Amino acid sequence: MKLSPLQIARYKYQPKLPGMLRNGIAEISVKVGEKTQSVADQEKIAALFPNTYGKEEITFQKGENTSPAKVHKVGVILSGGQAPGGHNVVCGLYDALKATNKDNVLYGFKNGPIGILKDDYLVFDDEYIDQFRNTGGFDIIGSGRTKLETEEQFEVAAETCKKHGITAVVIIGGDDSNTNAAVLAEYFAAHNTGVQVIGCPKTIDGDLKNEDIECSFGFDTATKTYSELIGNIERDSNSAKKYWHFIKVMGRSASHVALECALKTQPNICLVGEEVAAKKMSLAQIAEYIADSVNARADRGMNFGVAIIPEGIVEFVPEFSVLIAEINELLAGSKTEEFNALPTWDAKYAFIEKGLTPESMKVFEILPQGIQQQLFLERDPHGNVQVSLIESEKLFSAMVKDILAKRKKEGKFNGKFATQHHFFGYEGRCAFPSNFDADYCYSLGYNAFMLIQYGYTGYLSKVSNLAKPAEQWVAGGMPITKMMNIERRNGQDKPVIRKALVELDGKPFKYFEANREQWAVETAFTYPGAIQYYGPAEVCDITTMTLALEKE
């Protein structure tokens, strides 16, 4: 396999660890903190996790390592969507294992949680793992979205661990994956299997965060990758001066990615789903807001601009959520077949008009026909609309076009409005990790072994103080149950990790809010450029603007 010069150079990069983990494993001790409780529904969560709930947060510090000496056999699982830096979590875990005892073994379960159920694995060695240091992707063992949530699955996982003498499993994933890790840890503890479970916080969406987890890994690299592309488009827009670019970015349940990219690139428009929900904005109001910017810039002779739209924006629009619920009900059961059998779109439209309430029909009517049809073409396994497939960037550009056409007839708009559309998603999930993510992920993996060595289970590997240089980072662990609450899922109450949404009173949004009126009218674009790996720390090791603003 031919390697690029950058890949060869990145193999040689030595990730930076937090100061207290640099002393050597023999000189790392534990400082025990306060007992914890879940963020909500404390009694219900405690009842569901009697063996792992309410444990203390812990911090590692310099001191004598008092953990019992033994050979460790550890399994690792990559779960869910890819995020830059995942390979370095595995590398950090491996290096800590081997630094403690060369006889320690790391098993990699292939293709996600299904690997532990099928006993499909590989055993890592130096030659194999060295091919993946500081690289993007999850191809080191593959990933998958199988959920570990049933008694039968837990029994199989326990048997797999018993077969190989595995006494700890590290699950690298997002909020759902770490919820599964907490449930698995509780099962293993309740059945005295002797198997620990440790989680690591991953998601480029940025919604796995709280006062303890300052940032999920991959968010830094993904937003820098998207921001480079957005900056390139801004420069092109400012050069050609003839297109409005509507750019959709990842983030279905929260708008962290969109907000971070806006802070980096200063586009004319950035929608924030959480604000849309708080203000109960309609689709029409959102389109009018964008059209006002287009109009104001056209009045200044600037018929170009950039708008950033989070992937899940329509789910934050109250009227649209009601529409989706009504459509799901309209096509429940055999009605889907009845609808699909209708010969023309006109016949289907009449069926829809008859089945929706007048309020929802008004919302449906303002949608471009392509979006209307899309709502009825794609269904998930439960028969529901797949909202994530809606091309919201095209939806809003079409609505803005209609508004501007009306204004032109009224003599209120004299400019031009031509559009280009983009969706940045997969482009950021497997990028070469930034120095920050390379360091952070390696530290998370190394730290995960320290939690294992000291006998913790149901804990999340935690590295904090991330706005400071790596030397000042603080390593430790927190019980996963601390992040949990009860939510309604598929008709049942389930314990889940609470997703972190953009805080409208937080410093990152407030900074954006204070500047967006100027950005909407002026050409205030900034161009982040490509991720830098070599050079001054203030260029190469910087983290996100979100984190910098939160910690200033």
Q: 3-state DSSP helix/strand/coil percent for the chain, to nearest 5?
A: 45, 15, 35
- Answer whether residue 373 is part of any domain: yes
Asked whether 173 and 145 are in contact (CB, 8 A), the reply is no
Instruction: Say how far apart CA 202 and CA 216 lie, in whole Å.
Output: 5
CA–CA distance, 512 with 256 (Å, rounded to integer): 12
> Which tens digit of pLDDT belongs to each residue from 306-325?
999 999 899 899 999 899 88
Give the list of residues 6+ apart from residue 411 with CB closer than 8 angstroms, or none.
none
Are 139 and 279 in a shared domain? no
CATH of residue 548: 3.40.50.460
The tokens 């969560």 sit on which residue? 45
Q: Which residues pair with 497 in a beta bridge?
A: 484
- Neighbouring C-beta atoms of residue 191, cutoff 10 Å: 14
Residues 419 and 441 both lie in one domain? no
Residue range(s) defining the domain that contains residue 242: 221-311+391-431+498-552
Assigned token pair, 228: 């480079």
Q: Answer whether residue 480 is part of any domain.
A: no
DSSP 105-171: EEEEETTTTHHHHHT-EEE--HHHHTTSTT--SSTTT--B-----SHHHHHHHHHHHHHHT--EEEE
My answer on whether 509 and 541 are in the same domain is yes
Asked if the structure places residue 13 within a domain, the reply is: no
Domain match, 212 and 279 both? no
What is the full per-residue pLDDT of the chain (552 aa) written as tens digits? 788 999 999 999 999 999 989 988 999 999 999 999 999 999 999 999 999 999 999 999 999 999 999 999 999 999 999 999 999 999 999 999 999 999 999 999 999 999 999 999 999 999 999 999 999 999 999 999 998 989 999 999 999 999 999 999 999 999 999 999 999 999 999 999 999 999 999 999 999 998 899 999 999 999 999 999 999 999 999 999 999 999 999 998 899 999 999 999 999 999 999 999 999 999 999 999 999 999 999 999 999 999 999 998 998 999 998 998 899 888 887 788 899 899 999 999 999 999 999 999 999 998 888 888 888 876 665 566 676 678 899 999 999 999 999 999 999 999 999 999 999 999 999 999 999 999 999 999 999 999 999 999 999 999 999 999 999 999 999 999 999 999 877 667 889 999 999 999 999 999 999 999 999 999 999 999 999 999 999 999 999 999 999 998
CA distance 65 to 26: 5
Edge-to-edge, what's the strand order for the sheet holding 121-123?
28-35, 56-62, 474-479, 459-464, 196-201, 168-173, 73-78, 105-109, 121-123
CB 108 within 8 A of CB 140: yes
Tokens for 61, please give them.
């510090």
Give the chain's domain count. 3
Q: Are residues 180 and 139 in the same domain?
A: yes
Q: Rounded to whole angstroms, how far apart are CA atoms 530 and 395? A: 30
Residue 103 falls inside a structural domain: yes
C-alpha span between 115 and 113 (Å, rounded): 5
Q: Which of 205, 437, 439, 541 is catalytic?
A: 205
Which CATH number characterizes residue 371's domain? 1.10.10.480
Q: How many helices and strands in the chain, by DSSP H and E? A: 22, 15
H or E element: which one contains 260?
A: helix 256-265
Which residue, 138, 137, 158, is CA-closest to 148?
158
Element (H, E) at 78: strand 73-78
Shared domain for 91 and 202, answered yes or no, is: yes
What are the residues facing 462 on neighbouring strands?
476
* Gyration radius from the chain CA atoms: 25
CA dist 215 → 205, 311, 362, 435 (Å): 10, 20, 41, 15
Residue 63 maps to a domain: no
Question: 398 with 502, same domain?
Answer: yes
Domain co-membership, 148 together with 274: no
> d(Cα 116, Cα 160) in Å, to the nearest integer?
7
Answer yes or no: 205 catalytic: yes
Last residue of a domain, one of 441, 475, 509: 475
Same domain, 398 and 446: no
User: What CA–CA distance (Å, rounded) separates 218 from 257?
Assistant: 11
467 neighbors 487 (Cβ within 8 angstroms): no
| Alpha helices in 266-317, H assignment, sequence order | 273-278, 283-299
| Burial per residue of 242-258, b for 16 or more beta-carbon CB atoms within 10 angstroms, e otherwise | ebbbbbbbbbebbbbbb
Residues with Cβ within 8 Å of residue 550, at least 6 apart in sequence = 214, 467, 506, 507, 508
Could you tell me which residues come within 8 angstroms of residue 229 by beta carbon, excluding any fewer than 6 positions away? 422, 424, 427
CATH number of the domain at 145, please. Answer: 3.40.50.450
Residue 2: inside a domain: no
